[in-house]
Structure 1
Amino acid sequence: MRQRKRSGRKEPIFSGFATSLSELRLNPLDRITIADDKPARRTPPRKKTTAPRSDGPRKPPPGDRKGRAKKRTRGSFSRLLYWSAVLTLWSVIAVVGVLIYIGAHLPPIQSLEIPKRPPTIQIIAADGSVLATRGEMAGSNVVLKDLPSYLPNAFIAIEDRRFYSHYGVDPLGILRAAVANVLHRGVSQGGSTLTQQLAKNLFLTQERTLERKLQEVELALWLERKHTKAQILELYLNRVYFGSGAYGVEAAAQKYFGKPAKNVTLAEAAMLAGLVKSPSRLAPDRNPEGAEARAKIVLAAMADAHLITGQQARAVTAKPSYAMKPASAGTANYVADWVGEVLDDLVGQVDQNIIVETTIDPKLQSAAEAALIDELAAKSIKFNVSQGALVAMTPDGAIRAMVGGRNYADSQFNRATMAKRQPGSAFKPFVYLAAIEAGLTPETIRQDAPLDIKGWRPENYTHEYFGAVTLTQALAMSLNTVAVRLGLEVGAGKVVRTAHRLGITSKLEPNASIALGTSEVTPLELVGAFGPFANGGYAAGPHVVERVRTAGNNKLLYARGKEAPGRVIDPRAVAMMNTMMEQTLISGTARKAEIPGWTAAGKTGTSQDFRDAWFIGYTARLVTGVWLGNDDNTPTRKATGGSLPVEVWSRFMRAAHQGVRPESIPGTQRGGFPPEVAQFGQPADAPVRAASPTVPTVGRSPPLPQPARADARPEPANGLGLDGWLNDRLFGGR
């Protein structure tokens, strides 16, 4: 192996230092040696010592130890002060940054004003009386000094005891709420002050996010800076939500107790204050037990805060005085809800208090409510019928009464406007009208016999057939096979177009079964579609709103137009249809429907499996429809249109026509035809006579025709007359 050439090592010389070379020379162990065939390895440097090692540890003098301890203490305290200052500075910067960020997402503070209270919609009947109030109800603003002291104190005791000592945000309240929530392992208390709640109610949404909470804090501070405590408390009492659509203590006192806020008792004040926590769940008209239990908690809080004495709290708790106003169950609420739905189309978004003048007659509304509810109370179990609806309108479409259900308090679903049900035979007038318009007459003969349409075999209610019958007989008897034959003859599309022309708005399936009313409609649109029969052939769009005006300055926002409606049925067709449908009440399926002194017409209907029972009938004054059934669409106990619905209709219509001079519907035999109506093709100046030789005089009851064989031949109609063949056994329904 070749030997490496070695060079001599030169030690550095430090001139100018007093240290001796012997002290600066490295120890041999500190040198780095490199072997010929091994990697270099550094050895850790040895600790430099300046004095010879002694046998034991060196101890500084006592005085030196105390000095060093003081220096360390002073150093630690300085560092603590320094880092505290740094942390405080950065915390302030972070808080300011957050406030700036949150403020950037708010409207400019200068532009924030107390917004308008929610608008009130007052709904007025045709006679000027108040039917209902809708929208977010708000009573008039109350002044703090006019209220009993215990009313605002109740809110302070349960919501914000430190209200008068904080500046909008209460750190102690937040800490107390946090501790309580931790102990209860859930959210049992809130830390929001009254000012924060007011800020949220006035300007913010109800979402629970950190950003929204910080916005609430910033707005609370702004409110405290802008308003006095008394102003904030007064604003709060006039704006807070109390459930059931009531905003402010005045509206809540009127809603729940039927009295102004200044007259509420201590117990009632505690109940109102208790609602703020959960207004929907604790509303006294829905949960009186929960509201009363919460009121006791408020009373205890008031005593604990020394806002009332313990004796007062115990006395009120033992014998609370709540003048509870009964929950509104009046059926006029169905009308009010419907008005609220149509307002948007008439006047757009409501942003001010308005008064809505309607077409509702309060006396007729009460009569309709009594007729439906009383008849159901007496016979609902017998027929297994749980619900019903009634709509009454003038022949030109003005709604006079509407009942959307049995009890508004139990169910706010308006069956008159929203429930789509099969009309059954009540749909047949549109089929017969299409046939009349195609050239047929009430005397036209058609065959009542079994029918097979691709396997579908429609049958009559009694499963019997009468052979050759006139259209008048077939409609009065509600013969299904004749209706289906007519539908096929004129075409299902023609039937659908006829129904839509008269006012049906629901989708109708153009198939063979449409003649039997298998497509669903609402009671409101079915009644509206019968209107042209009662008014001589003109469109009769159902309507309830006459005028809308502002509550303050009576500015007119909407007024129903007075333009003449368009004609939808030829006068001669109207006369023929009215003649036929009059017989339904004289000797047909609706013989129980009777209004002394008045001519009336109409049609009964029963859907498949007795699920729906209908009667739509009309006079020259009113068109009224009644539907009965079950919300879950279960079958009734053979309730037919000619039974319970006719009884409800008759009771209401007799009350509605009492004391009113009788008039005739167009084209009926009692009153004849209007001068402009050509009588079954005769000139308009022809003498008034019976509509058809087949129509008997009132009260005549010819013998019942016998059921015919399916292959019976049609017989001529020469003087047959409308047979009085219907009896209770065969036609107690449909």
Structure 2
Amino acid sequence: MAQGTRRRPLVADKRYATAGRGTQGNGTARKSKPRPKSNAKPRKSGWFGLFRSGRKGGGGGGRGPRKPQKPKTLLGKLLAMVLAPFRWAFRLAWGFTWRIGMISAALVALAVGYHYMKLPEVAELLDGRARGSVTLTDRNGEVFAWRGDQFGGVVTSDTVSPYLKNAIVATEDKRFYRHFGVSPRGVASAVRINLREGRGPLSGHGGSTITQQTAKLLCLGVVYDPTEWESERAYERDCRQGSLWRKAKEAIFAMAMEAKYTKDEILSIYMNRAYLGGGAYGAEAAAQRYFGKSANQVDASEAAMLAGLLTAPSTLAPTNNLQRSQDRAATVLRLMQEQGYLTTSEMRSAQNSPAVLSEAAAARAGGYFADWVMDTIPDFFGSETTEDVVIRTTIDQRLQRAAEDALNHVFDTKVRKGSKAQAAIVVMSADGAVRAMVGGRKSRVSGVFNRATQAKRQTGSAFKPFVYATALELGYSPLDRVLDAQYCLDVPGSGQWCPKNYTRKFYGEVTLARALRDSLNIPAVKVSEAVGRDLVRRVAGDFGLDSELAAGPALALGASESTLIDMTGAYAGILNGGSSVTPYGVTELTLIGDNTPMMGASGGLGERVIQTKAARELIWMMEQVVSQGSGRRAQIPGWQAAGKTGTTQAARDAWFVGFTADYVAGVWMGYDDNTPLSGVTGGGLPADIWREVMVRVHDGLPPKPLPMIAPKPIAPPPQPQPQRRQRPNVGQELGRAVDGLLRDIFGN
């Protein structure tokens, strides 16, 4: 090319002809040369293309030729050789994983669809009743306690209080309205908490959503069939198992529910079926049980208390521990404020005014007496009933309030604040019908330790009346005498044993009546040894003290253990004239809709133990205890009363058991851990409690005399009279001689 001639730019020819452009000089389109076909297969696009090419955007599939790669350095080649197995393993694992994932997703979808098709309409699931109910009425037919789902009214998320709805969501599942039935985030959080607390990943916190909890309450759609399960308890145990496989099934069922029902419908099912303690299933049952109002009327503090029960219903139930329930409710209120359901001022106001049991709800808990009654009836009529049962009991609610008020009065006025000492009270009729029962200082509770029926404690001198009952039955008189002086016995295996009186004094020759009146120990042991320990043990056992009685001479001093209800029942046998009684609380059991009783009275009068005369003389002796002796603090103005004090070794137990003509009452006081009482004897605080109880019990009743017999005074033995010498009467002797002579002459 000549110098100065302008060179044409080096540009590629147009591949495709366009109108008016890219034509030859003659106006015809220039034909482009066809591209040679390549034998190489087109590279896959997407993730596999990325893995094969090693860089994003690589691969064929119409994306143009690959850019030429720079020759690898020796280091690069070595690195590629090292990473090659890992790249291959990752590609293999990924291919395996996504295929398994697709198969798993398909199986899950099929399982969800299967459960979806089987789920009933939501209305069929709203009835939260899983069992029958037990209604307990007092001696007058008035309802005073329930067990089971008595209030099972149906509620929905639209009809309950908004506070309750929000409290449940805030406490149990704050993402409830955002997840699809399972919350991976919640599960991960629960696993993290469990591991941090030293448990297994699935032990403890489960991370279950409300939908999953509802699925568990529905037993994953499995209905109880008596022919398939050993018992309903076994069915429920299977429903509540927490294995990994069970969790997976639960998640599938939850997703099916999410597809079938709305969120509010799922929440409604949950609120009707969740157990909330105190025998209450469902929000309506719990609101009625604890607050005496409907679930649509509860305020923020009450709603928080109900929602707080969901984590541990039996432990946190306000009928068991109100303070613990209130503390949990305060936490729920804080969660509601953090999630925007309450303002800060509303939260503080609710926390400063925590929910409390209504008076009616507190009474309807039934307390110790209701628990005792439920323990005395067969389980298929009680805790495991599937029927609606009505139990008519012996309790008198006026007497129950009297016992509770008396206990509170004495502890408020005569016991130092902060004392952990406990007390129990039983009031019954002479036939053994229990009219009131207090099993501890917290009287309005259920499901806790009952010291009136479950605590076996040494009886001390409260046992002595049965020693003297044995003597009176054998013909002894209350006025017979016994020597109160130093007295020792050789006990096999223990050596010499010398009983002492409480005062550490001796009183010489005393009557049996005085020995009991002043609770002297030595005369009691002597009488027991005189009549025979075996006979004393038999009489006490026949009166109902049939626990393992002591075999040694300390039997007479109450070394054996007994429950308060058994001791009170034994004293009732003395009051009724010498017949044993079985304490009872049930008079009739029926099913709702059926007037035919399924069960009658569970106790009452038994066989005669001692004669009526002996029993009435013993009552006279026991009346002396109250009127003149160690039980003077138990005197009731205007009433005759009889009873006996009891104090055990080191004052670990203090008793007073006694009666009037109408009622028998027993009081025990002590510490649960056997700590000795400080300055307390049976004639002290227990006698005060007994008096306060009986004063309230007899309020408004006309006084009646005790059925007692005073012993006849024992006539002193006749003294021998000195014989006086008489002078002979001559006239009388002459007359007797003449009479004899005439009989001989004339005959008779």
Q: TM-score, with normalisation over the residues of structure 1?
A: 0.71
| Aligned 1:623-702 pairs, distance under 5 A | 623-669=664-710, 691-693=711-713
Deviation, 1:255, is 4.6
Deviation at 1:281, TM superposition (A): 7.1
One-letter amino acid of the counterpart of residue 611, structure 1: R
Contact 2:169-2:176 at 8 Å conserved across structures: yes
Task: Tell me which residue corresponds to 1:50.
Answer: none
The structure 1 residue matched to 2:356, chosen from 325, 329, 332, is 325
CA contact (8 A) 2:643 2:657 kept: yes
> Contact 2:461/2:647 (CA < 8 Å) preserved in 1?
yes
Q: State how 1:610-621 maps to structure 2 within 5 Å.
A: 610-621=651-662
1:566 correspondence with 2:603:
no
Deviation at 1:452, TM superposition (A): 0.9
Equivalent residue, structure 1, for 2:335: 297
Deviation at 1:534, TM superposition (A): 0.6
* Paired position in structure 2 for 1:679: none
Aligned AA (1:656): V
Structure 1 residue 135: deviation in Å? Answer: 4.4
Partner amino acid for 2:600?
A
Structure 1 counterpart of 2:372: 338
Report if the CA contact (8 A) 2:583-2:604 is conserved: no
Structure 2 alignment gaps of length 5 or more: 1-34, 53-87, 220-237, 491-495, 720-748
Name the stretch that deviates more: 520-529 or 282-291.
Answer: 282-291
- Give 1:133's aligned residue: 146
In structure 2, C-alpha distance between the alignment counterparts of 1:74 and 1:248, rounded to whole Å: 54
One-letter amino acid of the counterpart of residue 70, structure 1? P
Shift in Å, 1:508:
0.8
Counterpart position of 2:462: 426
SS at match of 1:540: strand
Q: What is the aligned partner in structure 2 of residue 680 from structure 1?
A: none
Structure 1 match to 2:270: 236
Instruction: Provide the C-alpha distance between the structure 2 equivalents of 1:378 and 1:161, rounded to a whole number of angstroms.
Output: 49
Indicate the SS of the match to 2:667.
Answer: strand
Q: Is the 8 A contact 1:122 1:130 kept in 2?
A: yes
1:347–1:557 CA contact under 8 A, matched in 2: no
Equivalent position of 1:25 in the other structure: none
| Cα distance in 1 between the residues matched to 2:497 and 2:473 | 27
Name the CA distance, whole Å, in 1 between partners of 2:166 and 2:348: 20
Match of 1:124 among 118, 126, 137: 137
Q: Is 1:254 the counterpart of 2:288 in the alignment?
A: yes
Tell whether 2:485 aligns with 1:449.
yes
Higher deviation after alignment, 209-218 or 589-598: 589-598
Residues 591-630 of structure 1 mapped to structure 2, 5 A cutoff: 591-630=632-671
Residue 147 (1) aligns with residue 160 (2): yes
1:371 aligns with 2:406: yes
Deviation at 1:145, TM superposition (A): 3.9
Shift in CA distance, 195/514, structure 1 to aligned 2, threshold 3 Å:
same
Amino acid at match of 1:439: G
Contact 2:290 2:362 in 1 (8 A): no
- Deviation for aligned residue 1:469: 2.3
1:433 shift after superposition: 1.7
* 2:393–2:585 CA contact under 8 A, matched in 1: yes
The answer to whether the 8 A contact 1:339-1:545 is kept is yes
Equivalent residue letter for 2:686: P
User: In the TM superposition, what is the alpha-carbon distance from 1:404 to its structure 2 partner?
Assistant: 1.6
* Closer, same or farther: CA 586–224 of 1 in aligned 2, 3 Å: same
User: Which one is further off, 358-367 or 214-223?
Assistant: 214-223
Identify the residue that residue 22 of structure 2 maps to in structure 1: none
Change (3 A) 1:634 1:562: closer
The alpha-carbon deviation at position 624 of structure 1 amounts to: 1.2
**1:472 alignment partner, one of 495, 513, 523:** 513
The equivalent of 1:174 in structure 2 is 184
Rounded to whole Å, the distance in 1 between the matches of 2:269 and 2:343 is: 27
- Secondary structure at the aligned position of 1:589 is classed as coil
| Offset of residue 431 of structure 1 | 1.2
Cα distance change on mapping 1:205 and 1:394 into 2, 3 Å:
same
1:212 is the counterpart of 2:246: yes
Q: Does the CA-based 8 Å contact 2:517-2:622 persist in structure 1?
A: yes
Calculate percent identity across the aligned residue pairs: 39
- Larger mean CA deviation between 528-537 and 639-648 belongs to 639-648
TM superposition shift of 1:637: 2.9
* Structure 2 equivalent of residue 192 of structure 1: 208
2:80 match: none
Work out whether residues 544 and 566 of structure 2, in 8 Å CA contact, stay in contact via their aligned partners in 1.
Answer: yes
1:365 partner letter:
Q
CA distance in 2, matches of 1:382, 1:138: 39
Q: How is 1:506-521 mapped onto 2 (pairs within 5 angstroms)?
A: 506-521=547-562
Rounded Cα–Cα distance in structure 2 between residues aligned with 1:390 and 1:505? 20
Aligned 8 A contact 2:305 2:328 in 1: no
Q: Cα 1:591–1:191, aligned 2, differ >3 Å: closer, same or farther?
A: closer
Greater mean alpha carbon deviation, residues 623-632 or residues 453-462: 623-632
Count of aligned positions: 601
- Aligned equivalent of 1:405, options 440, 445, 448: 440
* 1:24-59 C-alpha deviation (Å, 9 max, x unpaired): xxxxxxxxxxxxxxxxxxxxxxxxxxxxxxxxxxxx
Q: Which deviates further from its counterpart, 203-212 or 551-560?
A: 551-560
Q: Distance in 2 between matches of 1:648 and 1:271?
A: 35
Distance 2:571 2:189 in 1: 68
Identify if the C-alpha distance between structure 1 residues 570 and 150 changes in structure 2 by more than 3 Å, giving closer, same or farther.
closer
- Output aligned runs, 1:108-119, within 5 Å: 116-119=129-132
Counterpart in the other structure of 1:264: 298
Displacement of 1:591? 3.0
Q: Give distance in 2, aligned partners of 1:147 and 1:385.
A: 41
Are 1:528 and 2:563 counterparts?
Answer: no
Instruction: After TM superposition, list the pairs within 5 Å mapping 1:14-93 onto structure 2.
Output: 67-68=39-40, 70=42
- Residues 426, 615 of structure 1: 8 Å contact kept: yes
CA distance in 2, matches of 1:300, 1:136: 33
Moved more, 491-500 or 202-211: 202-211
Q: Secondary structure at the match of 1:473?
A: helix
Distance of 1:320 and 1:561 partners within structure 2: 47
Deviation at 1:562, TM superposition (A): 9.1
Aligned partner of 1:324: which letter?
Answer: A
Q: Which residue of 1 aligns with 2:70?
A: none
Please report how far the alpha carbon of residue 633 of structure 1 lies from its aligned counterpart in structure 2 after TM superposition. 1.7
Look up the equivalent residue of 1:235 and give its one-letter code.
I
> What is the CA deviation profile of residues 514-553 of structure 1, one whole-angstrom value per residue up to 9, with x for unaligned ones?
0000011111101101112111122221111222334566
Relative to structure 1, the CA distance from residue 261 to residue 75 in structure 2 (aligned partners, 3 Å threshold; closer, same or farther) is closer
**Equivalent residue for 1:436?**
472
CA distance in 2, matches of 1:356, 1:387: 30
CA separation of 1:564/1:541 partners in 2, compared to 1, >3 Å: closer, same or farther? closer
Partner residue in 1 for 2:217: 201
Secondary structure of the structure 2 residue equivalent to 1:68: coil
Range with greater deviation from structure 2 (425-434 or 399-408): 399-408
Q: Choose 201-210 or 262-271, whichever is displaced more.
A: 262-271
Q: Determine the C-alpha separation between the residues in 2 that align with 1:484 and 1:361.
A: 39
Q: Which moved more, 1:506-515 or 1:364-373?
A: 364-373
Q: CA offset at residue 580 of structure 1? A: 2.2
Partner of 1:395: 430
Task: Specify the code of the residue in structure 2 equivalent to 1:201.
Answer: L
Q: Deviations over 1:441-483 (max 9, x none)?
A: 2233322211111211001122222222222222222221111
Equivalent-residue separation in structure 2 for 1:189 and 1:420 (angstroms): 39
Contact 2:316 2:325 in 1 (8 A): yes
TM-score, structure 2 length as denominator?
0.70
Question: What is the aligned-residue RMSD (CA, Å)?
Answer: 4.3
The whole-number CA distance in structure 2 between the counterparts of 1:208 and 1:395 is 52
CA deviation digits over 1:636-691, x for unaligned, max 9? 2332222222222223223322332333443434xxxxxxxxxxxxxxxxxxxxx3
Q: Secondary structure of the equivalent of 2:683?
A: coil
Aligned-partner residue type, residue 630 of structure 1: Y
